[in-house]
Structure 1
Amino acid sequence: MTINCLGNLIDLSVPKVMGIVNVTPNSFYDGGKYQDGKSVLSQVEKMLVEGATFIDIGGYSSKPSAEFVSEQEEISRLIPIVDLVLKNFPDTLISVDTFRANVAKEAIQNGACMVNDIAAGSLDANMMETVAQLQVPYIMMHMKGNPKTMQSLAHYENITKEMLFYFSEKVALARSFGINDLIIDPGFGFAKTLEQNFQVLNNLELFQMVELPILIGVSRKSMIYKTLETTPEFALNGTSVLNTIALQKGASILRVHDVKEAVECIKLVSQL
């Protein structure tokens, strides 16, 4: 199972790590940490040294009830950071975390190599056509509504069955546009209750039916820190536990704030 990033074939039969760099003032864990070039470069270098294959850069917080950010503001946050990272670490495989087609296009034209869309095209009708034209890998996440409304939409008769149907429809649509490299993301924390998040994780192996790489993003999320009655700052151990379970159930990419620990999870699970 491979994806093509800037002509590099990335083998996902061995799971890979995607490091998160949020250039937003309000992300739930690292909001405001990376607001200047020096801090961004320091974090990116740390992640690359620790073994990250991808760096995922986002300029729009998708936490519940996140405030609106204009398209131009999102572009102005993202593009200088993409340029800065590639100037200093030119071989970096950058994923851009956006649900807007124009933002994705700007980022790819400036050297990013992958689009990570929390809405799988639902929030921008031009997204899939744009990704197809750019011919880059496309991460499609499961979500209902948008960041402001998603938590009120966590109603399912059978969440796993409904998510599999969602992905089958999204994959068919993406293929109809001519997108070659697809990755699915169950969207932990997006339009899902605490209990539903664990139900999805428990059934994660069923998502291999889609026959696409699976990206898992549970890093320091509320399903961990609320269950443990702590805070995101103290949720690293819990993150490693859930990442380990996800790997055993078929995850191909771990999207994390803490690269070293995720790489260690992969190394240990690979010995089983």
Structure 2
Amino acid sequence: MEKEGERKSRLCRVVSSLDLCLLIRIIEEMNDRQRQLLGIVVEEYVKSAEPISSGFLAAAYSLGVSPATIRNDLAVLLDQGYLKKNYFSSGNVPTNQAYRFFVNEMFDDSYEKKTRSEQHIPHFRSIDEIARFMSDRSRLLSVVMNEDMDMAVDGINYLFAQPDFSSLEMMHDLACFVDALMDMRQELFTVLADEDETIFIGEENPLFSREHDLSWLVSSCDSFHNKRLAMFLVGPTRMPYERNATLLYGIRKYLSK
């Protein structure tokens, strides 16, 4: 017959095991919830360019938790570097780390399936037409160049119209950036033309590491009029990455036929 002490010891081990399973499940749920919350903040900020408050999230979404829990989760994401505040009492703004997190998730096994959907791509006669199509569809700055260093730039007006660059200082910096593009054709093609599909967020770009507020979507194709082609979409880090990556993939796929 099992002694009382042995029975209590066995029960403690069972309870400890249950507690551990419960703790693991809670941690996983918290991670999932925080990931969901971060995804909502990123999505809403991309649409509105306005900081996202915990009050807005509690009112607009049925998250199944209290407003206090939402505030606590946002504080965790803030501490982890996924969110920032422009000033102490403001709402939450995604950081480049947050955008990178979701871009990495985007390039999983399902990305190829999602980008396989057919897009209506017109017949292009020149790199100018490619650049114009890219900028009109994305509402971003587009750059297309070939191995002869012929360059087409379109959508500068879209870049200057972004609320992210509304200050005079930022507009001046953008103007200098666009000028620099024209002067760096060789470097652009040499460094970036071999990228099939790459996204540089903020300081990740090897040529423009000081441009923390700009993201680049980079692609290339082996032959357009028998010349290698490099294509870039440039815009604020606050952008719908999946939609723009799908656009660029569709153009590359069409040109590679």
Q: TM-score, normalised by structure 1?
A: 0.24
Higher relative contact order (CA 8 A, sep 6+): 1
Richer in helix (by share): 2
Q: TM-score, normalised by structure 2?
A: 0.25
Flag the structure with larger Rg.
2
